[in-house]
Amino acid sequence: MVDWDAARYDRVSDPQLEWGRRVIARLAPRAGERVLDLGCGTGRVTAEIAALVPGGLVVGLDRSETMLRVAARTVPASTGVAAAGRQPLVRADAAALPFAGGFDAVFSAATLHWIAEHDAVFESVLRALRPGGRFVAQCGGGPNLERLYRRAAALRERPSYAPFFAGWEDPWHFAFPGPTRDALERAGFVDVDTSLEAAPVTFDDPAAFSEFVGCVCLRHHLARLPGDLTGTFLDDVTRAAKADAPPLTLDYWRLNIDARRPPA
């Protein structure tokens, strides 16, 4: 696993924050609810959910220690649970959640595409929910970032880069609505609704584009390269993106998920 540069991610992740806010609107959290933010990252979205559930509990969960260290500076003050002796942040694997029947809702944004075992995740989320609890999520899906990753694949074949990518396997899983719906139903969910939506992101200048893709989209690629080639790889990707129409635009697609655990 290639861990995140969490402080940098916190600085550049405005697109993820905006997507997260739209998922919060679908979640429609209510006062007094217990909500799990699965893949909470640096806690920016977690804090916004917490503000909408007075008297409730919001738990942020992530498998990245670096993300949780940054989130710890944001989430406790926002949730108001630290003083009551309850831990609002948990390090755990989404495919093996350490909860059973504890939440009214499980929320997730911009996370599930980094996890290959969606069947295991959905089974784990179902167990974490109370009867009748809802699962509201969004992640990369379908043709997400197809143009960017096609270019990165071509670069991996160049003689100057190829030796560093022996045995490469894509670390993302961009599922489609149909198979995702089937997997949720196999796990035991009902009232399942899945869909894809285009969500392109355009950057103001090459430096902003390069910093974002280096931190978020291409971090696994760059982790394989020696320091003197990381900048060159990013420059090659950014130069190609400048010629796109519109330029410096990432071809994001989001997979929306809404489902419910059956009532008791």
Tens of pLDDT along the chain (264 residues)? Answer: 789 999 999 999 999 999 999 999 999 999 999 999 999 999 999 999 999 999 899 999 999 999 999 999 888 655 554 444 455 899 999 999 999 999 999 999 999 999 999 999 999 999 999 999 999 999 999 999 999 999 999 999 999 999 999 999 999 999 999 999 999 999 999 999 999 999 999 999 999 999 999 999 999 999 999 999 999 999 999 999 999 999 999 999 999 999 999 998
* CATH number of the domain where residue 24 is located: 3.40.50.150
Is 20 among the domain residues?
yes
Place of tokens 């992101």: 201
Is 220 among the domain residues?
no
Domain region containing 88: 6-145+172-202+251-260
For the question of whether the overall pTM of this predicted structure is more than 0.85, the answer is yes
In angstroms, the CA 219 to CA 230 distance is 10
In angstroms, the CA 54 to CA 224 distance is 45
Q: How many CA atoms lie within 13 A of 6 on its CB side?
A: 20
In angstroms, the CA 62 to CA 65 distance is 8
Would you call 194 helix, strand, or coil by DSSP? strand
- At 82 the pLDDT is 45
Contact indicator for 126, 257 with CB cutoff of 8 Å: no
Token readout for 161 is 């880069």
Is 180 among the domain residues?
yes
Is 136 among the domain residues?
yes
Token readout for 209 is 């584009």
Number of domains in the chain: 1
Is 26 among the domain residues?
yes
- At 1 the pLDDT is 73
Is 158 among the domain residues?
no
- At 122 the pLDDT is 98
In angstroms, the CA 252 to CA 126 distance is 28
In angstroms, the CA 48 to CA 35 distance is 12
- At 124 the pLDDT is 98
- At 85 the pLDDT is 42
What does DSSP say about strands 190-198 and 253-260: parallel, antiparallel, or unpaired? antiparallel
Is 35 among the domain residues?
yes
Is 238 among the domain residues?
no
